[in-house]
């Protein structure tokens, strides 16, 4: 039995008994006092959901965390916002349902930037999540709680969501793998909407084999999501060398990231694959295009939060309109308000040509440019984020964060899959790179990244929990 199978067997054993589940619950709560990655931890409740399936396959008894903007029946559903404090979800997201049907156990809801808006998990109404590599540092975001829960060993995988890099960037900051799938390949049903046309439920894990099993389990058309798709895997001859597109120059990128990029390119060459240097001129417009569309969609998606039917309701209003205004004033954070305001602005009648429609045109142009590129290459290698994990409270401004999304948002704008992976460790912190592939090329990305990881130096996660240790008390 190899290490991985041993660990899987240990997880299953840990989740199989009342007494060991209690120990696990205690271990999670204790570990989280360091990282503040989890908003609700309830191993027993999750085990009950999974037990209904009687499934003991590959994922049977494997625990996972769910980002708190993804619905799990009976668990809280705050989206990291004061607006939804105390809301208990009355239904379960399709992605979670498919996992519990396969026997996997949702054990906790993980922290996030409010409604997925942010790159540091400092924009949560409830806590600031810490990076397990160094608790002075941010874990990235918005799925920072998910990434920290995997990197610290709390769970072997986590569900997050990726609207503009929100799975891949925290995965990179915490040294784990992060998948943003092809748009629609994993149902969005149960994912609280931020930018509907660009976001996906994504997977974080420290093990590519496990990630692949999870992906296989959750992917595919869902009757509850009309934008979901069944897609035929992108085909590529297994042993044939890949051609990987790389940028000749990286602008405004920290030297550690630059070095990580060169290291990753070297690994590509070492595998005998081809490297093709490219330029993508339209990428210069990707950030404004992405944020225009994302904020426009957000302004509508977040309109439902008014305190009328559920969630926070402001006190002391004398009429309904005032109540809604006060509720939104008091319960939304600054970044959320900024995005709603800008989204409302770009959709105003008479201004759509200038903003929203122009952004959609750029989006189409970028999509075409990438389609042409994928005629010649099988994947594009880029850094995930231009800067290294930074100290909490001393990070990027709201504007800098948006500009820093330039590597990740391309996959969201165009709907293609991207898989981030740890390339190396610099000054005690992981450096993440990503491979983007054509639509439905997840399996190609899994195997390519597996080979790259084998060729790269091993990255040792700062785990504070292992199932064996919990079992052994």
Q: Which residues bind another protein (CB under 8 A)?
A: 69-71, 77, 79, 84, 87, 89-91, 93, 188-193, 196-197, 223-227, 296-297, 299-300, 303-306, 308-310, 320-321, 324, 344, 347-349, 352, 356
Shortest Å, Cβ 195 to another protein: 8
Please say which residue, 70 or 148, places its beta carbon nearer to another protein.
70
Q: Is 447 a catalytic residue?
A: no
Please say which residue, 121 or 306, places its beta carbon nearer to another protein.
306
Residues 429 and 389: beta-carbon distance below 8 Å: yes
Tell me how far CA of residue 63 lies from CA of 41, 103, 143, 160, 424, in angstroms. 12, 9, 17, 14, 27
Token pair in block for residue 169: 């960037």
Q: Is 16 a catalytic residue?
A: no
Q: Is 166 a catalytic residue?
A: yes
- Inter-axis angle of helices 255-270 and 442-455, nearest 10: 100
Shortest Å, Cβ 14 to another protein: 29
Please say which residue, 165 or 415, places its beta carbon nearer to another protein.
415
Shortest Å, Cβ 20 to another protein: 32
Shortest Å, Cβ 283 to another protein: 22
Choice among 166, 187, 228, 289 that is catalytic: 166
Choice among 12, 67, 180, 402 that is catalytic: 67
The owner of tokens 């396959």 is 57
Please say which residue, 71 or 404, places its beta carbon nearer to another protein.
71
Shortest Å, Cβ 308 to another protein: 5
d(CA 146, CA 174): 10
d(CA 107, CA 457): 32
**435's torsion region: left (phi>0), alpha (psi -120 to 50) or beta?**
beta
Q: Compute the CA torsion angle 1, 7, 95, 378 (nearest 10 deg).
A: -60
* Residue (of 16, 109, 63, 69) closest to 336 by Cα position: 69
Please say which residue, 197 or 468, places its beta carbon nearer to another protein.
197
Q: What are phi and psi of 206, to 5 degrees?
A: -100, 5
Runs of H (alpha helix) within 208-254? 208-218
Choice among 142, 286, 299, 420 that is catalytic: 142
Active-site annotation, residues: 67, 142, 166
């Amino acid at each position: 039995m190899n290490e991985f199978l041993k660990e899987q067997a240990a997880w299953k054993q840990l989740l199989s008994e009342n007494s060991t589940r209690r120990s696990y619950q205690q271990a999670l709560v204790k570990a989280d006092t360091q990282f503040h990655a989890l908003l609700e931890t309830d191993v027993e409740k999750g085990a009950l959901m999974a037990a209904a399936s009687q499934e003991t396959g590959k994922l049977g008894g494997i625990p996972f965390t769910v980002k708190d903007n993804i619905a799990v029946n009976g668990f809280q559903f705050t989206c990291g916002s004061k607006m939804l404090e105390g809301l208990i979800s009355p239904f379960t997201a399709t992605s979670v349902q498919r996992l519990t049907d396969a026997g996997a156990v949702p054990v906790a809801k993980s922290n996030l930037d409010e409604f997925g808006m942010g790159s540091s998990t400092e924009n949560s109404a409830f806590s600031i999540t810490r990076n397990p590599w160094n608790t002075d540092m941010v874990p990235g975001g918005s799925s920072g709680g998910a990434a920290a829960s995997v990197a610290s060993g709390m769970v072997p995988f986590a569900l997050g969501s990726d609207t503009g890099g929100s799975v891949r960037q925290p995965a990179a900051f915490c040294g784990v793998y992060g998948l943003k799938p092809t748009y629609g390949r994993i149902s969005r049903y149960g994912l609280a909407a931020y930018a509907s046309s660009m976001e996906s439920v994504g997977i974080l894990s420290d093990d590519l084999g496990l990630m692949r099993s999870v992906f296989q389990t959750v992917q595919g058309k869902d009757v509850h999501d009309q934008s979901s798709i069944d897609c035929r895997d992108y085909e590529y001859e297994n042993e044939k060398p890949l051609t990987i597109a790389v940028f000749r120059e990286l602008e405004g990128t920290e030297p550690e990231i630059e070095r990580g990029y060169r290291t990753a390119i070297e690994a590509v060459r070492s595998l005998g694959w081809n490297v093709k240097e490219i330029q993508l001129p339209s990428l210069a417009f990707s950030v404004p295009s992405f944020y225009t569309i994302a904020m426009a969609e957000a302004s509508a998606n977040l309109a439902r939060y008014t305190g009328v039917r559920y969630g926070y309701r402001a006190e002391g209003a004398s009429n309904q309109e005032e109540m809604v205004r006060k509720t939104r004033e008091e319960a939304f954070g600054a970044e959320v308000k900024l995005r709603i305001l800008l989204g409302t602005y770009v959709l105003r009648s008479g201004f759509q040509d200038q903003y929203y429609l122009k952004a959609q045109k750029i989006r189409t142009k970028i999509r075409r440019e990438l389609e042409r590129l994928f005629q010649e290459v099988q994947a594009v290698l880029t850094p995930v984020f231009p800067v290294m994990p930074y100290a909490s409270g001393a990070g990027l401004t709201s504007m800098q964060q948006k500009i820093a999304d330039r590597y990740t948002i391309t996959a969201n704008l165009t709907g293609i899959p991207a898989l981030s992976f740890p390339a190396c460790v610099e000054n005690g912190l992981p450096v993440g790179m990503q491979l983007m592939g054509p639509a439905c090329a997840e399996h190609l990305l899994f195997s390519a990244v597996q080979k790259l990881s084998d060729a790269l130096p091993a990255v040792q996660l700062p785990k504070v929990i292992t199932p064996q240790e919990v079992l052994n008390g």
